[in-house]
Structure 1
Amino acid sequence: MTSKNQGSLINELVPPEKMIDWVGGGGTSWFKQVGNEFFQYFVELCDLKPNEKVLDVGCGCGRIAVPLTEYLEDGGSYEGFDITTDEVNWCRENISTKYPNFRFHRANIYSKHYNPNGKVTASEYKFPYEDMSFDFVFLTSVFTHILPQELENYLSEIVRVLKRGGKCLISFFLLNPESLKYSNENLGILDFKYDFEYYRLLNPDVPEFAVAYKESFIQSLYEKHQLKIMEPIRYGSWCGRKEFLSCQDIIIAVK
């Protein structure tokens, strides 16, 4: 496939607006912008190589899979899973058919907001992949929607499926003195006012709508599961910071 033809295919890989709205909104331009943004982080900050094996936890409708289709080759591959049926089916029908090294799995995990008929909880879910299968694992806006027991299970699964020396990139809402100061001054876009010791919620009636964690708590979990954080943590704009990398906070770590 020529690069010109491939670029044409990339432009076609945009899901319907209703799917984009369901997994964050922002329309077509935002869908492309965020995908390209994180692709750059993968290459520039995580040193992702074209021949590596990649896992996308919470793939949605392929927002970050799409730019990777131009990059992963020569043995490189992508696996993604999500709890939403329509989005996974769209990715299978529109991405996997053109890029066979891109595969998508539907995980029937319970979520009050996203999948109320799910059969298994996130705290007990086992990723459907062998030990040490991936060079790189990423989660964008996943740990911002799950509670501590679920988060720790996912973190342990990430460690299990990562190869030794493999890296992971995960986004968070991290609570530390700076973010709390800005939040208390109502400078941020989210007000996590419901305090549960080491995490806070936006809406206790729908906990998974948005969750923020104490940075020290997250650091302790990384240490417990023997993931080494690659400093610095890249802080986001969500709380009202003037200097930031992205919207959410980003932690890159190595096994």
Structure 2
Amino acid sequence: MSVFEVPGRGSALREASGRLRGVDLPRGTVEALTRWFDGADPVPPPGLDPERGAFAAAGYLDEAPPPRTATVTVAGRGALADAVAAALAGPGLRVRRGDLDSLAAADTDTDTNAVCAVADGPAPAAWTALDSLPERGTAWFRLAVEGRHGILEPPAVHPGDAGHADVRARRLAAAGSGHPHLLAYWDAAPVAPTGPGDHALLAALLAADVRAWGAGHDTPATGDLVPAALPARRRLRVVDLDTAAIADHALLPVPDSAP
């Protein structure tokens, strides 16, 4: 949220959703509030408790506690995994590197709150070995690349969320009679023709999902400038690396069936 002056028309407010509203405040008050909202002043400006109270009552002030600090292990090698680790670095997250074998072999890892598996090519079937991570209290994020398409699988945060096995089953079913071709392509695992710009885009999208999880934002924000979106845990995100187009496909776990 930001408060600013409109020349000749007084003050206005931009909501976090993107909506603009006029507000009836003197210029000095607007400047003092703006410095506070922007973080330039660490404490609320003196003498403006009524104004602050009005903003709080209208739901414009976020009084939520800061997000917890979480440890995230990036499992993968190469430039894309490096970009993901770099994008995750910052307040609220401790980043370390790991590998699938050691993570799958460990029964528990109390030091890791989330695992991000990254492949600069089709996702390996070995990822299914880590689908039990949410049952151990560890969130499970996955990013792969197929040709010129980035694939962000739905994060598995709670037991019963869609894991890699669910994604494979759903995609093979959707492929219909072409499922042998898709399975063979996954097994061939060709390296994706990606570059630094592709890595930065995909890493930023994955990091956004991880940070939203860390902050407890399970439901995506909506507003005047963005359409309603599927929760990350319920969508498979496909990114066209040539056009930057993003398509979100609803994806639910495959239910258990009787033998």
What TM-score do you get using the length of structure 1 for normalisation? 0.32
What TM-score do you get using the length of structure 2 for normalisation? 0.31
Q: Whose RCO is larger (CA < 8 A, sep 6+)?
A: 2
Bigger radius of gyration among the two: 2
